[in-house]
Amino acid sequence: MILSQELHEHHEPAGFLRKYIFSTDHKVIGIQYLLTAMFMALVAAFLAILIRIQQAWPETAVVAPETYLSLVTMHGTLMVFFVISLALVSAFGNFLIPLQIGARDMAYPFLNMLSYWVIVPACLLMIASFFVEGGAAAAGWTAYPPLSALKEAVPGSGLGQTLWLLGMALFIASFTMGGLNFLTTILNLRTKGMSMMRLPLVVWTFLISTILGLLSFPALTAAAIMLLLDRHAGTSFFMPAGIVIGEKVLSHGGGTPLLFQHLFWFLGHPEVYVLVLPAVGIAFEVIAAFARRPPFGYRISVYALLVIAFLSMIVWGHHMFTSGMNPYVGEYFSTATVLITVPFAVLGLNLIASLWRGRLRLQTPMLFGLGIISAIGTGGLGGLYLGTAASDIYFHETYFVVGHFHFMIGTVTFFAIFAGIYYWFPKMFGRRMSERLGMIHFWLTIIPMFSAFILMHVQGIGGNLRRTYDPSSYAFNEPVRFMHVWITVLTFVLSAGQILFLVNFFWSLLFGRKAEDNPWEATTLEWSVSSPAPHGNWGAELPVVESGAYSYDPSSSDKDFLLQAPSWKTSQ
């Protein structure tokens, strides 16, 4: 059988390039993805700071209006696809899946390496787009036509928009290669005794996220190809008739921009769960380890994840309530959207119930894990209003959407990234991060992040429009415009906290305290191997799983946990 683990040879690679650059070791590739995501986060954060300065003090005009559109477009694109996707799915998925299922590596190690080296030129194309004539793409991170289809529409619609499309095409190719690897590895390379219902919940979330991505990304791939043809080959998939540029009436037309919106959001909404579900999975891992008890309702949580996956594919239209949608179609999308909150609420309640009668250890990973629960509840509440057509029509073009989106795709996911880094840092690098700096980082993150995004909701209720270069242009913005200054100051505080995190990360990487094999006294398989995890993961024999993923007993006065493969280490 081609996927049999006995056929995989895992000799230690020789030479720096083969070991650390063009590596086929899933752990090295996961770390490469993580470091790349951190670099792209710095670029995206710099764009966010420029946006906030412009909103708080528009009279200073720190950027031109057309440049501001590029900042908004590229900040959203980089954060969603090149930071959160790379860190949460590609980095943690690559690092954890083989370790947590008892495999020596991914099913296709070379394809895994290739998936990373396809994302590198994608990142370079996105960054290079800032330096071409006209600047980076300026049609929004959703790239709606006709702005994105017309090279003459706005500065940034020329070569910058084309580079954006090429970068996204490479991202989709990379994600597809990685997703096929994840799916095959989880289904075929589980070690003896590792049944599906013994998988850690975070592996379940990677599996479901992968399936969602593989099903939904082809829609955006098709849309991107058709958009490129509209831009460069004179087709009219998305070009309506009668568009006038200056005094010139465009000869081609007859297409519909709404087709692109449907194709984009057919990916765009499942993509929300591609990102949020691994965040929930990390929360379950961290809370189980630091509450010293199994997650409440393991099987129910798995079934809830599956229901969410199904429903997430049929609710994309709630992003389009203001597009002239038939009210009956809007009623369907409203109902389906509200329905998806039920299984998601089950996950939230199970996370909270997992704390009940636990023996809590409030260390840095746990603090961020608790922050995930809080952000899901707070951000999800705003989603009820945006998922219902009657209220979304009012809120759609306001900062209410910005606040909600940043809660769910900003706060939830970034808290999960930080929780995951603090939790698995010892297994990645064999060292411990500073607990004191981690605590300070947590408070410098949660306070400004929650405050800023709650204020954005308040601005949205007041009618403050999003995508506006100068909010002082509209008199109705005045009652809530002063909040822009507060949000910007909070952004500065938040940025300072992330600088502290970077200092902690790289200082600990070089000088951190040596980590034990299982510093958190956790139960899943990755904590059976040494820290950092060795090449090939396991010794001469693969572990044999004897229990579920979370064998904790908070009532025990002695050893309150049991590894999934307790006899593996003694047999080596």
Report the number of distinct structural domains present in the chain: 1
Nearest-angstrom CA–CA distance, 479 and 475:
9
Structure tokens at 146: 């006709």
Nearest-angstrom CA–CA distance, 429 and 169:
32
| Between residues 51 and 6, the one the model is more confident about | 51
Supply the mean pLDDT for the chain. Answer: 91
Q: What is the mean pLDDT of residues 186-193?
A: 95
pLDDT value of position 2: 42
pLDDT in tens, 246-270: 667 666 677 899 999 999 999 999 9
Q: Is residue 5 part of a domain?
A: no
Structure tokens at 331: 């009623």
The DSSP code for 513 is E
| Residue 83 exposure: Cα atoms within 13 Å on the Cβ side | 22
Q: Is residue 203 part of a domain?
A: yes
Sign of CA dihedral 80, 233, 69, 135: positive
Buried b (16+ CB within 10 A) or exposed e, 346-376: bbbbbbeebbeebeeeebbbbbbbbbbbebb
Indicate the range of 56-65, 310-319, 543-552, 559-568 predicted with least confidence.
Answer: 559-568
Q: Which of 387, 385, 378 is nearest to 411 (CA)?
A: 378
Q: 3-state class of 562 per DSSP?
A: strand
Contact (Cβ atoms closer than 8 angstroms) between residue 291 and residue 354: yes
Helix axis angle, 201-232 relative to 92-101, nearest 10°?
Answer: 140
pLDDT in tens, 54-105: 999 999 888 988 899 999 999 999 999 999 999 999 999 999 999 999 999 9
Nearest-angstrom CA–CA distance, 175 and 474:
42
Nearest-angstrom CA–CA distance, 502 and 268:
30
Q: What is the mean pLDDT of residues 402-427?
A: 95
The amino acid present at 288, given as its one-letter code, is: A
Is 539's pLDDT higher than 60? yes
Nearest-angstrom CA–CA distance, 156 and 164:
10
pLDDT in tens, 196-212: 999 999 999 999 999 99
Structure tokens at 378: 């707070």
Nearest-angstrom CA–CA distance, 320 and 73:
19
Q: What is the mean pLDDT of residues 368-381?
A: 93
Indicate the range of 182-186, 375-379, 499-503, 504-508 predicted with least confidence.
Answer: 375-379
Q: Is residue 3 part of a domain?
A: no
Is 185's pLDDT higher than 80? yes
Is 4's pLDDT higher than 50? no
Is 472's pLDDT higher than 90? no
pLDDT value of position 149: 86
pLDDT value of position 151: 77
Contact (Cβ atoms closer than 8 angstroms) between residue 375 and residue 411: yes
Q: Rounded to an integer, what is the distance from CA 215 to the centroid of its chain?
A: 17
| Between residues 135 and 558, the one the model is more confident about | 135
pLDDT value of position 233: 85
Buried b (16+ CB within 10 A) or exposed e, 173-209: bbbbbbbbbbbbbbeebbbeebeeebbbbbbbbbbbb
Is 11's pLDDT higher than 70? no
| Between residues 90 and 570, the one the model is more confident about | 90
Which range marks the domain in which residue 500 is found? 26-239+253-571
Q: What is the mean pLDDT of residues 510-538?
A: 92
Structure tokens at 229: 């043809």
Report how far apart, in Å, the C-alpha atoms of 469 and of each of 60, 129, 189, 463, 557 are: 12, 21, 52, 15, 61
pLDDT value of position 60: 87
Q: Is residue 330 part of a domain?
A: yes
Nearest-angstrom CA–CA distance, 50 and 56:
10
Nearest-angstrom CA–CA distance, 31 and 24:
12
The DSSP code for 3 is T
DSSP string, 528-547: GS-SSPPTTSS-SS-----S
Structure tokens at 408: 């769910």
Nearest-angstrom CA–CA distance, 134 and 146:
17
- Alpha carbon dihedral 9, 12, 16, 19, in 10-degree steps, equals 50
Contact (Cβ atoms closer than 8 angstroms) between residue 236 and residue 253: yes
Nearest-angstrom CA–CA distance, 203 and 200:
5
pLDDT value of position 477: 86
Q: Which helix (H) or strand (E) holds 244?
A: strand 244-245
Q: What is the mean pLDDT of residues 272-279?
A: 94
Is 572's pLDDT higher than 70? no
Q: What is the mean pLDDT of residues 320-324?
A: 92
Is 156's pLDDT higher than 80? no
Task: Specify the CATH number for the domain of residue 52.
Answer: 1.20.210.10
Model confidence pTM above 0.75: yes
Structure tokens at 73: 């477009």
Residues 6+ apart with CB under 8 A from 34: 86, 87, 91, 92, 95, 421
Structure tokens at 484: 């822009």
Residue 441, phi then psi, degrees to nearest 5: -60, -40
Residue 551, phi then psi, degrees to nearest 5: -95, 75
